[in-house]
Amino acid sequence: MKKVLATILALVMALSVTTISWADETALPDAENGVITLTGNTTIDSTAVHVTTGQTTVIDLKGHNLTINYAANAGSTQFSGAGTVLTFRDSKSTGFSNEGRWQGGILTLRGDRFTNIANPAFVPSIGATLNIDGVYVKCDGTGFLPLGNAAAVSVTNSFVEAKAYCVGTNSATVENSGVVITLKSSTFVTHNEDKDNCPVMINVAGKLNIDDCYICGQRQGVIVRAGEANITNSGIAIDDSARYEGNEDYSTSEWGEGNNLPSAALVVGNKTKSATGYKANAVVNFKDSSAYGGGTDAIYTDGNTDYQSTLTIDGDYTYIDGAVKKGNNIDQTTIKIQSGEFTDADAVNFAVADAALATIKYSETATTAIISEGAIKTVAKEYAEEGDVITVKRGNVALTDVPVGVTVANDGAGTVTVNGSGAITEGNPYTVRPAEQPPRYYYNSTTTTTDTKADTTKGSPKTFDAGVGIYAVTAVLSVTGMAWTAKKRGN
């Protein structure tokens, strides 16, 4: 796993060098039919981006690079008003090649403004929307920061790298609340010299929806300090080859602003009260997704007497590598685990009542805990291999398609069966024999598709198998996020 994540970050940094080319135009073309289409690589000043209130502005890179320079005294590119939309797209992009080279244009946001990397480039304000579609975005500071009621950011089929935040919010006042952030089939990576960053953060009342995404940071992966977040079919990680190491013990000290709080792949809630910000409960639904703590906590939660946090973990394909932890104010945070596999054995303390429980001892790695019959079945069928031992500790569990050589034990649970066999009794573990195991078919992300069209051509590839989670990451990327290939959990 360490090698995989290090490879991902190395690839990102290599792309930062290899994809830059010299610009040969210094102004945006005139719009045709409402679309500004680049005709060559272009470099402009940030003041050259004009967004008309109440209208849609579309800039199509069409395979070319667009560099926007922000001077030291420049402000963000800010726009507001209902119906005001700025869209960056690349109609010619085909994403990453098999050799790891981006096949499309690059939107680069740079300049002296980003000496303070927390400064944002684009700020859609009250009622306005920013869309990023099929674009590789490189930002020397913070990429996108929606501000105020109905301000929206949508990122689809894109790759975004930044030095502070790819997408964030500002909690300086409650008037900044009401934002909507939608992240779909995209990758978000943050990295800088001091390793103090977080790709995605929401800290105001609003909504954050993440689906089919890979997110990797150095101090945190995702922060939901306030607001509601729905995370599905995604992987969140801290790159442990370069993780931020200056984090103080926030279980005993007050939390600061921004991401001055515990280091974890996912942080939920707000420990320290603020006179102005974080004025909302933090509610997170985490389903069929993976979180990798990189040697620190995978998930950290906290709350205060004014605003509490609630985390629900569900999905038979959920996998959490690292501790699932409550902070100091344990009475102000709720963790409810309905399903999933966990390297932290203490995670079973958060399991819903009467959920089936089991452990799996991988033949080459440590034991993990499994919660819910559905998750036990999924692990037994899709991840267990010869030499692994599954021990059911609670509940009635009927396992099917368990591979040859896998041993199943009943440790005082209810009725446990394997591949249609008779019930396994306590103290008499059962190992699957060859004649019982039907042919096993392996998921291949390069051929599996989410839909088949009427003309029998295949639709868009399913690029994230949440059951594989972060351990399926490879350096072969695609425009719809990441291409994934199976690797046994725990390796």
Q: Are strands 214-217 and 235-238 parallel, antiparallel or unpaired?
A: parallel
Cα gap 294→264, rounded to integer Å: 8
Contacts of residue 446, defined as CB under 8 A and 6 or more positions apart, other chains included, come to 461, 483, 485
Can you tell me the mean pLDDT for 218-229?
Answer: 97
Q: Comparing C-alpha atoms, which of 291, 112, 316 is closest to residue 217?
A: 291
pLDDT confidence tier of residue 437, bands split at 50, 70 and 90:
low
Residue in the block written with tokens 């507001």: 80
**pLDDT of 15 over the 70 cut:** no
Q: Compute the radius of gyration of the chain from its Cα atoms.
A: 24
Q: Are 266 and 236 in contact (CB under 8 A)?
A: yes
Q: Are 137 and 158 in contact (CB under 8 A)?
A: yes
Q: Are 186 and 481 in contact (CB under 8 A)?
A: yes
Cα gap 92→62, rounded to integer Å: 5
Cα gap 449→257, rounded to integer Å: 43
**In this predicted structure, what is the pLDDT of residue 381?**
96
| pLDDT tens per residue across span 333-357 | 999 999 999 999 999 999 999 999 9
**pLDDT of 100 over the 60 cut:** yes
User: The whole model's pTM is what?
Assistant: 0.88
Tell me the two tokens of residue 183. 């992240």
Lowest mean pLDDT among 172-186, 203-217, 429-443, 463-477: 463-477
**In this predicted structure, what is the pLDDT of residue 22?**
53
Report which residue type is found at 219: R
Q: Are 294 and 240 in contact (CB under 8 A)?
A: yes
Q: Are 277 and 204 in contact (CB under 8 A)?
A: yes
Cα gap 208→187, rounded to integer Å: 15
Tell me the two tokens of residue 481. 């996020």
**pLDDT of 482 over the 70 cut:** no
479 class by beta-carbon count within 10 Å (0-12 exposed, 13-18 middle, 19+ buried): buried
**In this predicted structure, what is the pLDDT of residue 294?**
86
Which CA distances in Å does 245 have to 46, 249, 272, 296, 326?
35, 11, 22, 10, 20
Q: What is the mean pLDDT of the chain?
A: 86
Check residues 483 and 395 and name the one with the higher pLDDT. Answer: 395
Lowest mean pLDDT among 20-24, 33-37, 357-361, 366-370: 20-24
| pLDDT tens per residue across span 313-331 | 999 999 999 999 999 999 9
Can you tell me the mean pLDDT for 267-275?
Answer: 95
Cα gap 136→450, rounded to integer Å: 24
Beta bridge partners of 361: 367, 389
Can you tell me the mean pLDDT for 153-163?
Answer: 97
**In this predicted structure, what is the pLDDT of residue 331?**
96
Residue in the block written with tokens 């964030």: 168
pLDDT confidence tier of residue 491, bands split at 50, 70 and 90:
very low
pLDDT confidence tier of residue 6, bands split at 50, 70 and 90:
very low
Q: How far is CA 461 from the centre of its chain?
A: 18
Q: Are 308 and 331 in contact (CB under 8 A)?
A: no
